[in-house]
Structure 1
């Protein structure tokens, strides 16, 4: 099937679906294949749910009388369709990636820019080779901007996603110790994430750069770029006012002041990036202030939950060594007795045990009264510190906490998504 014919079907569809369980009436259904599933087997269910068209990459299933159309590969067709639609829509697209803070930053930028522009943005963290096309296919005639989050755990992924989204602006939050297994170490992370910069350079597009990050300034020296941060030479020069309560620093720009409800100094660059995008795109300054102050992350990211006399810092959306260290250092600065409950960090490959050991050693050194480490990797560290208690999994930890009430004023919960530490919340 030619892309023009597929695009014609898309334009007649109300939405795009890849899951027969959530297919809406009028949708075009793309059956994707997984390790243990074949979406082609659910075409009938999608049609029963009201799908107007279905794509298949199994020739024997084609039945144009029933609006089932054959393509060589459903995933490739979805990606090609997204790129074709992006070109047709021709609106500015902002893409962002990074080791930490991608989703928070994307949502902050979206909150700020939506004060002036009609836009669409990545939902949640649908940021891979499937999520990016689905995001692009939500662009409608009414939209003036699109914000596309890009995730990766291997080389060439960001390059591929850029070839689909064709971004006009790019931002990398940071380079950290995330997905070390797939990238092959920190240098691999830098190489993989900076594929976005290489795309921007090759296509004369613009990078937004945190000037307080020397590596990023070095990598973008020859790019067209907009800089922000506390550096004197920044295009948008900010002043960061620290506080003593673990909250995100206040950010000043001239006579303007911005205060986010997010926790942690580590969130300051995320907020600053959103402000910089707002200023660049000429969002009224009062509207930027409103967007920053109103933003609530939710989704177990950088939340403070008050339970009677206990303040819980819930940051269980994800974790890697870089974000774990930042969370611990910020937690130490908060006033009151402190208990940290930390879960395993995933996708660290051969460095996993050493990275878990480093985090345990760091936590032991900080002014944190009790430390509970949960998971297969944390339970194997070498430990002689009486502050630290080890559990091999969350259920064992849960049983312990149910029998032993933790006496503390402040509680940090942080771990990788697969650890789902938020499930411990009802116990405390």
Structure 2
């Protein structure tokens, strides 16, 4: 079966499924494989659960079925189908990547553009070689603008995702110390993320640029680019950001000056697509972060800043800076390990500890195998979350909780009950 024939089946279906627990009637199941699973083994179950067809690349001769579509490689077929669909729709696609702030920026862009257009954006962090195709295949004939988040932890990954999504516009939030192990250091991060610029230049597309980021500026010299909208001013950041846009005051539900550039990116893209200032104000003021991203939570009179979605040295330092500027008494910091730092892990964890010690915090708690190995003159080292939870006694303070996703530090909230 060629891709155009498969596409016709897709158009007639209710969508794509990759998990037999989430099968919808009339969907097409793609039997993806991973390190610990093989979707081919569940293809018949998917059909029994309501899938019209199952795309497989392994077929047991004793279990042949008329609704099994055999291909050479299921993942490649999924990616090819997504690209075929993207071309058929022929709509503007905005792609964004970066070390920090991708998901928040994507959500803000979506909120702003959706005031005037029917938009479809990446759900959650479905931003890898599987998530991007699934995002594209979620676009319908009603979608007017697509917004695609792209994550990467090694070279050539953004290049692949761009070849699938074929974005008309691209934006890089920043270049930070994330996934150093896979990228091979900070220079590797810059090279890997800049693959989106290579695509935009080669295909004569457009980049949105933060003019205060000298790397973005230098990397986009030969690309059609749009700088951040100028008439945006930061008015207040304690704790929530308030800005002025064309003399219109906007009160956000976002904390941290590091979110200012995320807001400016969304405004810039909104202005490019002719969204009015009043529409932008409404969109940004109605956006509230969730999923452990810089959430402010009140528990029994205690204020908690929960930023446990992810962490790397760049975002960790930014969070500490912002927390130190907040006008709260008795501030306590709870930090969890940062992952995927490779040979730089020991140094980066030590640097964060020393930086936290240099700021005026009442207490410091460092949790995890990596942090437990550092040297500290101020602060409590805990080898694991379990060890921390046994000794932790909450007091009426303001808390910052931040760590990599694998640390699941949102578990700390239960300790305040």
> Shorter-chain-normalised TM-score: which range?
over 0.9
Question: Judging changes above 3 Å, is the alpha-carbon distance between structure 1 residues 407 and 47 closer, same or farther for their aligned structure 2 residues?
Answer: same
Kindly indicate whether the alpha-carbon contact (under 8 Å) linking 1:62 and 1:69 is maintained by their aligned counterparts in 2: no
Query: For the residues of structure 2 that align with 1:85 and 1:62, how far apart are their CA atoms?
Result: 34
Structure 1 unaligned residues grouped into runs of 5+: 229-234
CA distances 1:155-193 after superposition (whole Å, capped 9, x unpaired): 000000000000000000000000000000000000000
Query: For the residues of structure 2 that align with 1:414 and 1:273, how far apart are their CA atoms?
Result: 24
Once the 2 structures are TM-superposed, how far is the Cα of residue 65 of structure 1 from its aligned partner? 6.0
Kindly indicate whether the alpha-carbon contact (under 8 Å) linking 2:240 and 2:251 is maintained by their aligned counterparts in 1: no
Residues 51-60 or 313-322, more deviating: 51-60
Partner SS, residue 373 of structure 1: strand
Whether 2:163 is the aligned partner of 1:163: answer yes
Q: Show the counterpart of 2:297.
A: 305
Whether 2:232 is the aligned partner of 1:238: answer yes
Superposed counterparts of 1:266-345, under 5 Å: 266-335=258-327, 336-345=329-338
Partner SS, residue 240 of structure 2: coil
Structure 2 unaligned residues grouped into runs of 5+: none
Residues 120-129 or 8-17, more deviating: 8-17
Kindly indicate whether the alpha-carbon contact (under 8 Å) linking 2:40 and 2:58 is maintained by their aligned counterparts in 1: yes
Kindly indicate whether the alpha-carbon contact (under 8 Å) linking 2:253 and 2:289 is maintained by their aligned counterparts in 1: no
Once the 2 structures are TM-superposed, how far is the Cα of residue 320 of structure 1 from its aligned partner? 0.2
Once the 2 structures are TM-superposed, how far is the Cα of residue 81 of structure 1 from its aligned partner? 0.3
Query: For the residues of structure 1 that align with 2:220 and 2:280, how far apart are their CA atoms?
Result: 26
Once the 2 structures are TM-superposed, how far is the Cα of residue 38 of structure 1 from its aligned partner? 0.8
Partner SS, residue 255 of structure 2: coil
Residues 6-15 or 100-109, more deviating: 6-15
In the superposition, the TM-score normalised over structure 2's length comes to 0.97
Whether 2:122 is the aligned partner of 1:99: answer no
Whether 2:63 is the aligned partner of 1:75: answer no
Kindly indicate whether the alpha-carbon contact (under 8 Å) linking 1:62 and 1:68 is maintained by their aligned counterparts in 2: no
Whether 2:373 is the aligned partner of 1:380: answer yes
Query: For the residues of structure 2 that align with 1:59 and 1:162, how far apart are their CA atoms?
Result: 31
Query: For the residues of structure 2 that align with 1:247 and 1:343, how far apart are their CA atoms?
Result: 24
Once the 2 structures are TM-superposed, how far is the Cα of residue 246 of structure 1 from its aligned partner? 3.1
Q: Show the counterpart of 2:130.
A: 130
Q: Show the counterpart of 2:199.
A: 199
Once the 2 structures are TM-superposed, how far is the Cα of residue 349 of structure 1 from its aligned partner? 0.2
Whether 2:346 is the aligned partner of 1:358: answer no
CA distances 1:367-388 after superposition (whole Å, capped 9, x unpaired): 1110000000000001222xx0
The count of aligned residue pairs is 415
Query: For the residues of structure 1 that align with 2:309 and 2:138, how far apart are their CA atoms?
Result: 25
Query: For the residues of structure 1 that align with 2:171 and 2:23, how far apart are their CA atoms?
Result: 33
Query: For the residues of structure 2 that align with 1:117 and 1:225, how far apart are their CA atoms?
Result: 23
Q: Pick from 247, 253, 266: which aligns with 1:255? A: 247
Kindly indicate whether the alpha-carbon contact (under 8 Å) linking 2:394 and 2:415 is maintained by their aligned counterparts in 1: no
Kindly indicate whether the alpha-carbon contact (under 8 Å) linking 1:127 and 1:150 is maintained by their aligned counterparts in 2: yes
Q: Please report the RMSD computed on the Cα atoms of aligned residues, expressed in angstroms.
A: 1.3
Q: Show the counterpart of 1:410.
A: 398
Kindly indicate whether the alpha-carbon contact (under 8 Å) linking 1:61 and 1:68 is maintained by their aligned counterparts in 2: no
Kindly indicate whether the alpha-carbon contact (under 8 Å) linking 2:246 and 2:277 is maintained by their aligned counterparts in 1: no
Query: For the residues of structure 1 that align with 2:179 and 2:13, how far apart are their CA atoms?
Result: 37
In the superposition, the TM-score normalised over structure 1's length comes to 0.95
Once the 2 structures are TM-superposed, how far is the Cα of residue 238 of structure 1 from its aligned partner? 2.1
